């Protein structure tokens, strides 16, 4: 007889801490193509931005995992920003993706306001890296 697995939030916090530690250094990238991120997304589906001033950036440091007040835990890192320098504009930003030190895709997220059009050097684009785990039940 199968029963529902329940992971208490403290277990989610520990699992999240272990996961982030195992991944090591993570890098955040922006993508410029109109793709809906799903559980089958691979890096080849994402076109990295190329505007002047753009470069993928290292994420960190992460906060200690904490309860999300429900059935899981989360961690976040400081705001990462990009500022165009003028070349390669305008360029659309549809979201971001995160890779580990080996270049493996770890997660991706669409920007709910996409496309965000970067068209001049007075603009910035920012992401607060965030990751959470939840017990299904």
pLDDT band for position 122 (50/70/90)?
A: very high
Model confidence pTM above 0.85:
yes
pLDDT at 24 over 90: no
Helix (H, G, I), strand (E, B) or coil at 99: strand
Give the pLDDT confidence score for residue 76 in this predicted structure: 94
Q: Are 33 and 91 in contact (CB under 8 A)?
A: no
Q: Give the percent of the chain with pLDDT over 90.
A: 74
Mean pLDDT across the stretch 3-30? 86
pLDDT band for position 95 (50/70/90)?
A: very high
Residue 68 tokens, joined: 């999300």
Give the pLDDT confidence score for residue 37 in this predicted structure: 97
Sort 56 into a burial class: Cβ within 10 Å, 0-12 / 13-18 / 19+: middle
Q: Spell out the residues 6+ positions from residue 67 whose beta carbon is closer than 8 angstroms to its own.
A: 9, 10, 12, 13, 73
């Amino acid at each position: 007889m199968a029963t529902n697995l329940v992971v208490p939030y403290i277990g989610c916090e520990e699992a999240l801490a272990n996961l982030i530690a195992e991944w090591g250094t993570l890098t955040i990238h922006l993508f410029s193509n109109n793709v809906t991120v799903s559980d089958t997304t691979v890096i080849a589906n994402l076109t990295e931005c190329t505007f002047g001033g753009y470069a993928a950036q290292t994420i960190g440091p992460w906060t200690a995992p904490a309860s999300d007040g429900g059935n899981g835990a989360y961690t976040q890192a400081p705001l990462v920003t990009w500022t165009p320098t003028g070349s390669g504009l305008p360029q659309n930003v549809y979201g971001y993706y995160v890779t580990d030190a080996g270049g493996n895709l770890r997660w991706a997220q669409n920007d709910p306001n996409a496309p965000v059009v970067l068209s001049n050097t007075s603009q910035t684009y920012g992401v607060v890296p965030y990751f959470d785990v939840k017990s299904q039940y």
